[in-house]
């Protein structure tokens, strides 16, 4: 059997800007596209979930980071820097370690999930908690990368988009065609930009011999408290339980609008309540554990279905971007907001059976 070799080697012919770079990889990509029976029955569509939490550091960022760090290595970089709501920092720290580079990360003070913070620290990054939000962190990171010998690995780095577009290739390779609709959470808007680029490239090349693919509608979803693209203006104090997408002024704003408009798609907002509901549906009905930000794609799909916007029988892919273990606390709350308290029992089969409802 041939083992999966990571996105750069798997899609080398479609990543010309990576040519000649050393391949710094943790064998990212090749993630499952899981048929979601419950979501399909709720929406009347054929829904599949692209489970990006199964990448090496637990989020889709690894696709972009293998590319960004490989290009940084080609440039002779000794150090990289990023701003992050958590996942980018975890990924940058891991890939920088693999490349033997130093890594500095700027995160919003107190607003990143424990799993992500511990990853960055475990991989030896130098971490600064900035007294500001993600947008402030990105401004600071850009300034530092201009003035000092550190390479910026946020999604404003074009290599990041190149790496992340491979997720679209995988979807088309798995389905034999693009889906009719692709749903994504939107934060800094790099990922929707990357997916749209990937779909367009497969579509363009279908003129020549090779896979003939359609173009999907791109449906992006922001958290209601951090929905600048929906509102049409930056949000100064973004706020949402989905800390991954707590962003008020996305760097790829224009590209996200282009993806929406060129594809005939939509960018809408979903409330924290809808996000946590979708999070629960994924874990309790589909067996897929994600972090809250990831659930925005599914929350948005359910919202669109309720509004009657989902065509019957359409093939729809929802990307869920990060693993549930990144930010597990949300699973320990009941739907009414109260804490889950595990039932305690003595070492006794009869009592345990009763507590489990096995007594008939
Ligand atoms: N989902 C998760 C789990 C994320 O971590 C992010 C972004 C997004 C969705 C949104 O993707 O920014 O490309 O629109 N996280 C970045 C970070 C900002 O720093 O980890 P996007």
Do 209 and 94 share a domain, yes or no? no
Whether residue 102 is found in the same domain as residue 20: no
- Residue 345's alpha-carbon distances to 140, 220, 338, 353, 356, in angstroms, are 52, 46, 21, 10, 10
CATH of the domain at 252: 3.40.50.1100
Q: State which residues form the domain around 225.
A: 7-59+160-332
Instruction: Give percent of the chain above pLDDT 70.
Output: 98
- 37 and 92 share a domain? no
Domain co-membership, 280 together with 308: yes
Write the CA distances from 325 to 113, 114, 291, integer angstroms. 10, 10, 7
Between CA 154 and CA 160 the distance in angstroms is: 7
Are 32 and 167 members of one domain? yes
Tell me if 295 is assigned to some domain. yes
**Among the listed residues 93, 92, 133, the one whose alpha carbon sits nearest the alpha carbon of residue 111:** 133
- One domain for residues 192 and 307: yes
For residue 208, pLDDT beyond 60: no
- Average pLDDT value for residue range 264-283: 98
Residue closest via CA to ligand 1's atom 4 equals 244
- Ligand 1, residue 326: give the atom nearest the CA: 3
Atom of ligand 1 nearest to the CA of 86: 20
Residue 342 lies in a domain: no
Is residue 86 lining ligand 1, measured as CB closer than 6 Å? yes
Model confidence pLDDT, tens digit, residues 244-268: 999 999 999 999 999 999 999 999 9
180, part of any domain: yes
Q: Check pocket membership of 155 for ligand 1, CB cut-off 6 A.
A: yes
Give the Å distances, CA to CA, from 109 to 112, 137, 142, 243, 299: 8, 10, 18, 12, 27
Q: Taking all residues of the chain, what is their mean pLDDT, rounded to a whole number?
A: 96
CA of 250 to the centre of ligand 1 (A): 10
Helices and strands: H and E segment counts in the chain: 14, 10
Q: How many CA within 13 A on the CB side of residue 301?
A: 38
Distance CA 322, CA 308 (A): 28
Q: Which of 51, 83, 87 to mutate to test the pocket of ligand 1 (most atoms within 8 A of CB)?
A: 87
Q: Are residues 231 and 87 in the same domain?
A: no
Does the Cβ of 185 fall within 6 Å of ligand 1?
yes
Q: Is residue 183 part of a domain?
A: yes
Picking from 157, 179, 202, the residue at the C-terminal end of a domain is 157
Task: Pull the structure tokens for residue 330.
Answer: 């949300």
Give 322's DSSP letter.
B
Answer yes or no: are the C-beta atoms of 302 and 43 closer than 8 Å.
yes
> How remote is the CA of residue 244 from the centroid of ligand 1, in Å?
5
Of ligand 1's atoms, which has the minimum distance to the CA of residue 59? 3
| Å from CA of 136 to ligand 1 middle | 16
**What atom of ligand 1 comes closest to residue 194's alpha carbon?**
13
Looking at ligand 1, which residue's alpha carbon is closest to its atom 6?
A: 244
Q: Whose CA is nearest to atom 11 of ligand 1?
A: 187
- Kindly provide the ipTM of the predicted complex, given to two decimals: 0.99
Same-domain check for residues 322 and 204: yes
64 Cβ closer than 6 Å to some ligand 1 atom: no
Q: So what's the pLDDT on residue 213?
A: 82
How far, in Å, from the CA of 356 to the mean position of ligand 1? 39
Q: Does the beta carbon of 57 lie inside 6 Å of ligand 1?
A: no
Query: Which H helix or E strand runs over 52?
Result: none
Residue 272: CA count within 13 A, CB half-sphere: 13
Residue where one domain finishes, among candidates 110, 127, 157: 157
- Residue 346 above 70 pLDDT? yes
- Asked if 182 and 310 sit in the same domain, the reply is yes
**Contact by Cβ (8 Å): 115, 326:** yes
Does 193 contact ligand 1 (Cβ within 6 A)? Answer: no
State the distance from the centre of ligand 1 to the C-alpha of 245, rounded, in angstroms. 6
Output the CA 192–ligand 1 centroid distance in Å. Answer: 10
Report which protein residue has its CA nearest ligand 1's atom 5: 244
Ligand 1 contact via 190 beta carbon (within 6 Å)? yes
Last residue of a domain, one of 98, 124, 157: 157
Mark whether 105 and 48 lie in a shared domain.
no
Looking at the domain assignment, is residue 270 inside a domain? yes
pLDDT in tens, 30-76: 999 999 999 999 999 999 999 999 999 999 999 999 999 999 999 99
Q: Does residue 243 have its Cβ closer than 6 Å to ligand 1?
A: no
User: For the chain, what is the domain count?
Assistant: 2
**What does the pLDDT read at residue 246?**
97
Q: Could you tell me if residue 243 is inside a domain? A: yes
Note whether 276 and 321 are same-domain residues. yes
Does some domain include residue 147?
yes
From residue 167, give the alpha-carbon distance in Å to each of 85, 181, 208: 21, 15, 21
How many C-beta atoms lie closer than 10 Å to residue 340's C-beta? Answer: 8
Does residue 91's CB lie within 6 angstroms of at least one atom of ligand 1? no
Output the six-digit token pair for 301.
């799909």
Centroid of ligand 1 to alpha carbon of 188 (angstroms): 6
Q: Residue 207 — very low, low, confident or very high, per pLDDT cuts 50/70/90?
A: low
Q: Residue 234 domain-assigned?
A: yes
- Do 184 and 283 share a domain, yes or no? yes
Q: Given phi > 0 = left and psi -120 to 50 = alpha, else beta, which region is 213?
A: beta
């Amino acid at each position: 059997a041939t083992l999966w070799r990571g996105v750069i080697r798997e899609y080398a012919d479609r990543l010309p800007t990576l040519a000649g770079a050393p391949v710094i990889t943790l064998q990212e990509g090749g993630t499952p596209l899981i048929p979601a029976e419950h979501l399909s029955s709720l929406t009347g569509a054929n829904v599949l979930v692209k489970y990006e939490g199964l990448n090496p550091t637990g989020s889709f960022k690894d696709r972009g980071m293998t590319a960004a760090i490989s290009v940084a290595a080609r440039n002779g970089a000794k150090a990289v820097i990023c701003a992050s709501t958590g996942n980018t920092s975890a990924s940058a720290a891991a890939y920088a370690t693999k490349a033997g580079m130093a890594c500095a990360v700027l995160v919003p003070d107190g607003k990143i999930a424990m799993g992500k913070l511990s990853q960055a620290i475990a991989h030896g990054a130098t971490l600064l908690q900035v007294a500001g939000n993600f947008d402030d962190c990105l401004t600071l990171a850009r300034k530092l990368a201009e003035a000092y010998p550190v390479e910026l690995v946020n999604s404003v780095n074009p290599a990041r988009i190149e790496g992340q577009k491979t997720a679209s290739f995988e979807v088309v390779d798995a389905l034999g065609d693009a889906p009719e609709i692709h749903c994504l959470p939107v934060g800094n808007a790099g990922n929707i930009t990357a997916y749209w680029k990937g779909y367009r490239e497969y579509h363009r090349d279908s003129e020549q011999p090779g896979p003939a693919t359609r173009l999907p509608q791109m449906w992006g979803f922001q958290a209601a408290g951090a929905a600048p693209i929906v509102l049409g203006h930056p949000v100064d104090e973004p706020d949402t339980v989905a800390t991954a997408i707590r962003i008020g002024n996305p760097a790829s704003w224009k590209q996200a609008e282009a993806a929406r408009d060129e594809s005939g798609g939509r960018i809408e907002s979903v409330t924290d309540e809808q996000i946590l509901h979708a999070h629960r549906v994924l874990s309790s009905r589909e067996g897929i554990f994600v972090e809250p930000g990831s659930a925005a794609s599914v929350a948005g799909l359910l919202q669109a279905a309720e509004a009657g916007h989902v065509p019957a029988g359409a093939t729809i892919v929802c990307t869920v971007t990060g693993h549930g273990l990144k930010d597990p606390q949300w699973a320990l709350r009941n739907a009414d907001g109260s804490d889950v308290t595990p039932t305690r029992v003595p070492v006794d089969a009869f009592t345990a059976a009763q507590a489990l409802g096995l007594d008939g």
